[in-house]
Amino acid sequence: MRKADYNVLIAGTGVAGLCCALNLPADMQVLLLSKAKADESDSFLAQGGICMLRGKEDFFGYFEDTVRAGHYENDPAAVRTMIESSPAMIAELVSYGVRFARDGAGNFRFTREGGHRRPRILFHGDETGKEITSHLLAAVRALPNVTVRENAELIDLLAEGNECFGGVVRDAATGGTEDIYADFTLLATGGVGGLYKDSTNFRHLTGDALAIALRRGVHVEHVNYVQIHPTTFYTAEEGRRFLISESVRGEGAVLLDKNGNRFCNELMPRDVVTGEIREQMQKDGTDHVWLDMRPVGKTVLEEHFPTICAHCREKGFDVLKEPVPVVPAQHYFMGGVKVDLNGKTSMKRLFAAGETACNGVHGRNRLASNSLLESLIWAKRAAKAMAAVRGLGIGRFPVSDKRMYQNYTALKQAYADAVREEAEREECCD
Ligand SMILES: Cc1cc2nc3c(=O)[nH]c(=O)nc-3n(C[C@H](O)[C@H](O)[C@H](O)COP(=O)(O)OP(=O)(O)OC[C@H]3O[C@@H](n4cnc5c(N)ncnc54)[C@H](O)[C@@H]3O)c2cc1C
């Protein structure tokens, strides 16, 4: 009997795609696709850190902080799952060689960000994402059952009768497309920032899986729930916005208006601080406000935030001597392809995890540093769910109509329009 090309097809090499591959049994053949280079994912950009439950006594506070930030629209079962799974996931990361900041006695050090009542965020300088994702990528590259294909883009699903049999993959070098059959497919293509003029995300993250899901009738949710980060470095230049992590404010940095006066509580959840900044910019008639990092102190700035200090210096600002201009920008996507607690979508054999998916953890607004954690945990759960029902075989091999993908520019425009239209439709009905 004809077999699928792979047991699992994974679109995306961020933390979600990688963690799924790492948690699949060694005798399952896996193909990982990356639209760009494998290390060009938002997971590499994460600065602030990753949350972790700090013992039983922290459960209520962590839960409450998450749902309060999410305007109580979060799915309680999903939040509970994420929080309870966090210590084991951190231990798993450490087992791959990931290093988090520790004190002299070897215990974890924790930092704080907006919306958290206490420090519960693990970090590695201001490059936590790079530290985690580079270790996971190295571990994946060492697996004999996993193939990583770069510059290979999922442009459609091979679907029939609400069942997924793999995907249509476009090679960036040749422009050609190929049908790849798989017993299971995981959508892990990250967020939607590339659809926005001002975003902290990589430009190639354009909500592809979401558009494909819309096209194929897979359930999506809250496509209008987009998080704006309050503090990105202000510049008149085009391109990706450089993030100034919230943990800088968690460590004491303050926001100032055009006259050098504080105008808000910097540690409120992101949507609140963003609203205050926008209001202040309007009052002042400016296109940015100022972030003064001097209260953080030289030692912490240099030890904990070297990348941020270097970026500001490169742009002509010495954070030890002067405030830097900051402006809100698109940052994170809370909505996505609707999944259950195991990452299953409404389509048979199709899973989703990471920023592409909506599992209900974040509600209307994500609490800082919950997304790496949530992405990892759902990717692992999806891997376990696939492994549990493996061996079914696909039986059907639908063939894509190549003419549909010939005009790539028109296809991508149609996908972007579909995502925007769905967001507008949901906004109206909200
Ligand atoms: C600047 C910045 C700082 C952040 N800081 C933090 C933080 O401190 N803590 C935290 O928890 N979260 C943080 N986040 C959010 C977090 O990094 C992301 O939510 C998380 O990394 C998403 O992981 P992912 O695997 O879902 O997607 P990503 O890491 O974005 O990976 C997406 C992958 O999908 C691939 N892809 C896209 N489209 C296709 C396609 N059509 N076909 C094939 N492949 C495709 C991409 O090439 C990429 O490999 C930050 C985000 C940014 C942008």
Ligand 1 atom index nearest CA of 191: 30
| Topology (CATH) of 236-330 | Flavocytochrome C3; Chain A, domain 1 (3.90.700)
Percent of the chain with pLDDT strictly greater than 70 = 100
User: Looking at the whole model, is its pTM more than 0.85?
Assistant: yes
SS3 state at 170? strand
Residue 32 is which amino acid?
A: L
pLDDT of residue 202: 96
Which residues in 99-233 belong to E strands, given as ranges?
121-122, 146-149, 152-160, 163-171, 177-187, 220-221, 226-233
C-alpha 81/C-alpha 359 separation (Å) is: 11
Q: How crowded is residue 235: how many other Cβ atoms within 10 Å of its Cβ?
A: 13
Q: Is 102 a catalytic residue?
A: no
pLDDT of residue 2: 81
Q: How far is the CA of 199 from the centre of ligand 1 (A)?
A: 13
C-beta of 243 in contact with ligand 1 (< 6 A)? yes
Nearest CA to ligand 1 atom 21: 43
Higher pLDDT pick, 39 / 425 = 39
pLDDT band at 209; cut points 50, 70, 90: very high
Burial letters 286-312, b for 16+ CB under 10 A, else e: eebbbbbbeebeeeebeebbeebbebb
CATH 3.50.50.60 maps onto the chain at: 6-225+334-429
Give the pLDDT mean for 298-318: 95
pLDDT over 80 at 391, yes or no: no
Ligand 1 pocket check: which of 13, 41, 369 to mutate, most ligand atoms within 8 Å of Cβ? Answer: 41
Q: Mean pLDDT check: name the lowest of 183-187, 303-307, 390-394, 422-426.
A: 390-394
CATH class of the domain defined by 6-225+334-429: alpha beta
Nearest CA to ligand 1 atom 27: 190
- What's the pLDDT tens digit per position in 214-262? 999 999 999 999 999 999 999 988 889 999 988 899 899 999 999 999 9
Give the pLDDT mean for 159-176: 96
- What's the pLDDT tens digit per position in 38-63? 999 999 999 889 999 999 999 999 99
- What's the pLDDT tens digit per position in 116-150? 999 999 999 999 999 999 999 999 999 999 999 99
Our measurement of the distance from residue 73's CA atom to the centroid of its chain's CA atoms, rounded to an integer in Å, reads: 19
Catalytic residue among 112, 241, 270, 381: 270
C-beta of 185 in contact with ligand 1 (< 6 A)? no
Burial letters 112-149, b for 16+ CB under 10 A, else e: bbbbbeebbbbbbbbbbbbbbbbbbbebbeeeeebebe
pLDDT over 70 at 302, yes or no: yes
Ligand 1 atom index nearest CA of 242: 1
pLDDT band at 197; cut points 50, 70, 90: confident
pLDDT of residue 430: 67
Closest CA to 227 of 272, 180, 174: 272
What six digits make up the tokens of 283? 């009052």
pLDDT of residue 1: 72
- What's the pLDDT tens digit per position in 222-232? 999 999 999 99
C-alpha 185/C-alpha 206 separation (Å) is: 19
Nearest CA to ligand 1 atom 26: 354
pLDDT of residue 336: 98
Ligand 1 pocket check: which of 171, 371, 378 to mutate, most ligand atoms within 8 Å of Cβ? Answer: 371
pLDDT over 80 at 425, yes or no: yes
CATH 3.90.700.10 maps onto the chain at: 236-330
When the pLDDT of each residue in the chain is averaged and rounded to a whole number, the result is 95
- What's the pLDDT tens digit per position in 259-288? 999 999 998 888 899 999 999 999 999 999
pLDDT over 90 at 94, yes or no: yes
What six digits make up the tokens of 213? 């899901």
